[in-house]
Structure 1
Amino acid sequence: MESMFNPPLHRQRHQFVVDFVKRNKPQKVVDLGCGECTLLKKLKFHREIELLVGVDTNGAKLQKKKNGLAPVSADYLQPAFNQLRIELYQGSVTQKDSRLRGFDLVTSIELIEHLTVADLECFSEVVFGYMIPLAVIVSTPNSEFNPLFPGLEGFRHTDHKFEWTRAEFRSWASKVCLEFGYEVEFAGVGQAPSDQQEQVGFCSQIGVFHRLRGRNDMFCDGAEDVFSYTLLYIINYPSLQDNNILQRVLVSEVLHCAEKLKSRWIEEEANERDDIASLCQTEKEREGGLLKKPVEIPQTAACGAEMKNPAEQCVRGVLKREDEEALRTNDEGQQESGTLNRCVPVPLAALWSSCSKVRALSGSLTNLRHLLIDKPEVKLSQDGSALLLNDQEHDLDEEDLNGFEDCGYSEARQCPSSAEQEEDWEADV
């Protein structure tokens, strides 16, 4: 039967629900008669859903299939902003359970044809009269399509209690709308050949029910809670709503972005050194008479007094270096000087303005500083305005420094720490 359709009919039914979810973005969804949990596995990727529930009478099948609903590694590495909880219940759609009231969407895919007439009445009362969801999607076989299946006699499945024509389905749906305050639109999946489509309709007929406005009167304060279903499985997906997870993801993103900025700044500084060395060598050759005509050197990169200005050499854009003297405590409780740790301060304002993901995670520069403070993986400057990264760039060899002596770079390189000259970055954002 499924081989007649491409994609297979069950996938078309599930895709119909997925398309509805994409358009309407329900937050609470329950699939009645979820069986293999195939539809739930598709819906869990639509993270506008915050609560996803499956109900089926076959508890053993739910226990077998529940692991397919668990989070995978990517969900922990890149948690979504919205929360997602998945629950599986063993229970019958003919029984009421107050935990399923007030959902945004209830789906019943190829379920009602397995119910007796009496149970179908209970189904209508439970779903439309007690659960009162905003929307309900019901699909069921269209018996008018059956003659197109070669060799089919009777119903499509041995457990089916009935299979309706389009007129019978419309009659039941209209009765439900009139009794419980809904309106319905009809659709279907599994098209017949073009010359027979109008005559037989879709293979699976679908009714999409929408609750009419003002039908909240069914929720009565003080009504007794009913718990008829057995909870078999519950899982909460990692979410940025959890402050611990948010801080972990933010710290990882901040360190990643800061390293990229540091590498870019160091590369730019190295290029400037190369330009300075080249210009100084040209100046020396000109002064030594090796060049017959003078070479014009830009004032901004000139050697001599301009290059000996520590402020010019130590502050290049937002890149600054701090030489911090590490202090250690001896056995007598006194502090004695240790090795010098070279650090590259990356202003938090630069991180916040240049990294969109950091902005999205933190919300504001002040909140970014608050989330990073006291995190052991992060080292902030004394005033908390910059992230300090270890400068892993090797110091220049003495032989390399000699090439810069004549242009004043060696003096400029000995400039004091620029931490005192930090700007108020937050004021510029």
Structure 2
Amino acid sequence: MEEPLFPPPLFHPPLHRQRHQFVIDFVKSNKPQKVLDLGCCECSLLKRLKFHREVQLLVGLDIDGTKVKKKMYELAPLSTDYLQPSYDQLRVELYEGSVTERDARLRGFDLVTSIELIEHLTLADVERFSEVVFGYMTPAAAIVSTPNCEYNPLLPGLRGFRHSDHKFEWSRAEFKSWALKVCSEFGYEVEFTGVGQPASGYQESVGFCSQIGVFRRLERGDDSNVLGGHGAEEVYSYTLLYSINYPSLRDNNILQRVLVSEVLSGAEKLKSRWMEKKSGEGNTSSATFETEEEEEEHTGGCTGGASEDQEEEDEGVCWTDFQSRQDSCTSLRCVSVPLDVLWSCCPRVNTLSGSLGNLRRLLMDEPDVELSQDGNAVLVNCLEQDLEEEEAEDDLEDSGYEPASRPHSAAAEQEEDWEASV
């Protein structure tokens, strides 16, 4: 909700950040998967919670839809979320509606937060809030914060309530009385704490500036005090303003796209290595894997972390096998990269596919990947590279220069060196 009207530099960090950090710390410790923020306003708490990927469903509710709409697109995925999707799942939903009304979509969350909200309600609406949140939504845990009026005399320049829209501000005893009544009626236990420490010597007499109740639902055999239980009519009173699913590798389409990209990249790197060795050594049968340092330099980390002699031997076998399979393809101007070599040498391909059989299955009907007839290798075309070289030679002939009695003269090489040094 809105910040109070008194001058802000009393707390470092500011009090609203301390309240949000309290929720963040709770999420880190308890790892709830479904989190609902009541009175989300401009979504500032939600924008921090979205980075905690243990949360799979993040929902905000506010009665003022205009304020939510101003900031809701800041909860959209970043470009890096699409370029490098993770296995984590996250869905964000924002609703317009009142905390005094029921909506079946917000039932059964792991955590519900109500940060500086209830003081904006009338006392009659606070009773309805208690019934809706604890009796109908029935979260596993709830965090409720509200101003502590006993702290108000320490706030310079404050006259009356901390905000013009506050309907009340409770003392610690009043907050405790309300919280214990909630626990008794709806089957919760509560722990009292807060944020905003007073100056030394004032803690016992005034308490925290913002008092907090952390509610946890008790495990009970009956739900006699739960409203809208099994068999009750489903109620949908809120308006959905925004929803988005973050990209995740658990989505088969996204997994397929990322896997294909990794396969093509890995195959291209292995093809380049083979062609370099073929042109440099003239005899590919003696080629073996480089050391781990050389391999990372060539492939940008395509190979996995080698595990001493056995893994080096395995890599050597894979590479020798890879080379031995090329004779059948070179005449067709392509390089055959066996799937088992890709799976063994590229950790990302290994992780994404899970098994060699699964890798083959995922690539079988993929139009961007050309497989061998037996489906055991990726065919990487070398024709494009050859065509580029031929076109370069043709351009040279058209310009009036002799294309091929090279090697270059020493003078030409010297001239190239001069140009490179300018």
TM-score normalised to structure 2 length: 0.75
User: Among residues 231, 235, 239, which one is paired with 1:230 in the alignment?
Assistant: 239
Aligned to 2:48, the other structure's residue is in SS state: helix
After TM superposition, give the deviation of residue 144 of structure 1 in Å. 2.2
Find out whether 1:29 has 2:20 as its counterpart.
no
Aligned to 2:332, the other structure's residue is in SS state: strand
2:376, 2:354 → 1: CA distance?
16
Which residue does 2:376 correspond to in 1?
385
Aligned to 1:222, the other structure's residue is in SS state: coil
Query: Residue 323 of structure 1 contacts residue 343 of structure 1 at CA under 8 Å; is this kept in 2?
Result: no
Structure exhibiting the larger radius of gyration computed from Cα positions: 1
Q: 1:94 to 1:341 in 2, by over 3 A?
A: same
After TM superposition, give the deviation of residue 215 of structure 1 in Å. 6.0
2:202, 2:282 → 1: CA distance?
79
Q: 1:94 to 1:61 in 2, by over 3 A?
A: same
Aligned to 2:160, the other structure's residue is in SS state: coil
Query: Structure 1 counterpart of 2:326, which letter?
Result: E
After TM superposition, give the deviation of residue 185 of structure 1 in Å. 1.5
Which residue does 2:122 correspond to in 1?
116
Question: How many equivalent pairs are there?
Answer: 351
Cα-to-partner distance string for 1:336-377 (whole Å, 9 max, x where unaligned): xxx943333322223223333323322221111111112122
Which residue does 1:350 correspond to in 2?
341
Which residue does 2:64 correspond to in 1?
58
User: Among residues 362, 373, 377, which one is paired with 2:364 in the alignment?
Assistant: 373
After TM superposition, give the deviation of residue 63 of structure 1 in Å. 2.0
Cα-to-partner distance string for 1:160-191 (whole Å, 9 max, x where unaligned): 11112222222221111111111112222222
Please tell me the root mean square deviation across aligned C-alpha atoms, in Å. Answer: 3.1
Find out whether 1:13 has 2:23 as its counterpart.
no
Query: Structure 2 counterpart of 1:178, which letter?
Result: S
1:103, 1:204 → 2: CA distance?
24
Which residue does 1:138 correspond to in 2?
144
1:215, 1:264 → 2: CA distance?
66
Q: Identity percentage over the alignment?
A: 67
**Worse-matched range after superposition: 118-127 or 155-164:** 155-164
Which residue does 2:292 correspond to in 1?
none
Query: Residue 345 of structure 1 contacts residue 387 of structure 1 at CA under 8 Å; is this kept in 2?
Result: yes
2:354, 2:256 → 1: CA distance?
13
Q: Which runs of 5+ in 1 are unaligned?
A: 278-311, 326-338, 401-429
1:345, 1:216 → 2: CA distance?
65
Q: 1:386 to 1:126 in 2, by over 3 A?
A: same
User: Among residues 247, 255, 277, which one is paired with 1:246 in the alignment?
Assistant: 255
Find out whether 1:316 has 2:320 as its counterpart.
yes
Aligned to 1:254, the other structure's residue is in SS state: helix
Q: 1:147 to 1:354 in 2, by over 3 A?
A: farther
1:372, 1:3 → 2: CA distance?
60
Which residue does 1:257 correspond to in 2?
266
Q: 1:391 to 1:355 in 2, by over 3 A?
A: same
Cα-to-partner distance string for 1:65-86 (whole Å, 9 max, x where unaligned): 2221222322221223243222
Q: Which runs of 5+ in 2 are unaligned?
A: 1-6, 287-315, 390-403, 408-422
Aligned to 1:316, the other structure's residue is in SS state: helix
TM-score normalised to structure 1 length: 0.74
Aligned to 1:2, the other structure's residue is in SS state: coil
Query: Structure 1 counterpart of 2:375, which letter?
Result: G
Q: 1:385 to 1:225 in 2, by over 3 A?
A: same
